[in-house]
A = this chain, B = another copy of it.
Amino acid sequence: MPVEILSKIRVGSASGGYYHRVKHASTATGTDMIFGLFLPTSHSYTNEQPTPVLFWLSGLTCDDTNFANKAGSRAFVEAEKQNIALVMPDTSPRGDGVPDIDSYDVGVGAGFYVDATEEPYNRNYQMYSYVTKELPSLLETEFGKLGCLGLKSITGHSMGGHGALTIALREQKEWVSVSALAPICNPTKVPWGKKAFELYLGNIESGKAHDATCLLNEKSAFDEILIDQGSVDEFLQNQLSTDALLDGAKQVGQNVTINMRKGFDHSYHFIAAFIEDHVKFHGAYLKVKLEKVS
């Protein structure tokens, strides 16, 4: 599985790690895919000890660069301190032949982290398999055992927050910790989710297997799920359903910390302000796991 390093620059601070853009042919999506990768200076391709990795999943309309460009700097500084890598996948397949639709909330830039079952999307829109299987495997083999021994945590924003929560809840043994910023918490009940699930999965009912609130039908393996949410987020009322997740969590005894951030909206300004906290949160859990497995 050869990879091409499109670019590599130092980021974050004078002695910080390096941010790469990496291109590879994906078997999951049948397209070339590009992802962002921050490697802390502590990472070595020949280390005995693997470097833990935090997956960042972006929201609607984003590609692999938005997070790195707009909120990366504060994440990179903290990841360097915590000695963890950050991987920033694209939000969908893209390029010639990938079916698209003239809409910002489905199609290219809006894969919703599911494996599409419906024509014509099922050929390329296999973002669940891409993020949960192909990419972790590639990181282990091509980047010095990155994230191996189960040293993986996951977070994301909006559609990517939905992705982080649902992937972690579906594959609780695969992820050390999970958090989200302004996630879509109950997608089967809101316009964004309904539209995407109908298109990719054929109906909303099938979307329940990718709905954090539906998936949280019993206490999970995670001690704590951390969520930050802006109080003046323009999508809070109609798309995010934070309360539904909180209610569900309460019923099953799941510890979910929701920080309502007064005056913050849905933008990357919000993400940038709180991403350090999330990297710290995952860093602490990954450190405990690293001590266990090494």
Interface residues of A (CB under 8 A from B): 9-14, 16, 18-19, 68-74, 232, 259, 261-265, 267-270, 272-274
* Contact across chains for A273 and B70 when beta carbons are under 8 A apart: no
Partner of A10 from the list B12, B72, B264 (CB cut-off 8 Å) is B264
* Contact across chains for B74 and A269 when beta carbons are under 8 A apart: no
Q: Closest chain B residue to A9 by CB distance?
A: B265
Given known pairs A18-B263, A263-B18, the reply for A269 and B9 (CB within 8 Å) is yes
Closest 6 CB pairs of A and B: A10-B263, A73-B272, A11-B269, A9-B265, A10-B264, A69-B70
Given known pairs A73-B73, A73-B74, A264-B9, the reply for A14 and B269 (CB within 8 Å) is no
Residues of chain B with a CB closer than 8 A to A12's CB: 272-273
Q: Closest chain B residue to A231 by CB distance?
A: B10
Residues of chain B with a CB closer than 8 A to A270's CB: 9
Q: How far is the CB of A48 from chain B (nearest CB, A)?
A: 26
Q: How far is the CB of A36 from chain B (nearest CB, A)?
A: 11
Partner of A9 from the list B71, B232, B259 (CB cut-off 8 Å) is B232
Q: How far is the CB of A228 from chain B (nearest CB, A)?
A: 9
New contact pairs (15) apart from A9-B232, A69-B70, A71-B73, CB-CB < 8 Å: A9-B263, A9-B265, A9-B269, A10-B263, A10-B264, A11-B269, A14-B259, A14-B261, A16-B273, A19-B269, A68-B269, A70-B70, A72-B269, A73-B272, A73-B273
Residues of chain B with a CB closer than 8 A to A14's CB: 259, 261-262, 273-274
Cα(A263)–Cα(B16), bound, Å? 9
Given known pairs A14-B273, A273-B14, the reply for A267 and B73 (CB within 8 Å) is no
Task: Supply 9 A–B pairs (Cβ within 8 Å), ascending by A.
Answer: A10-B261, A10-B263, A11-B272, A68-B269, A69-B268, A73-B73, A73-B269, A73-B273, A74-B74
Cα(A71)–Cα(B232), bound, Å? 22
Residues of chain B with a CB closer than 8 A to A262's CB: 10, 14
Cα(A69)–Cα(B259), bound, Å? 23
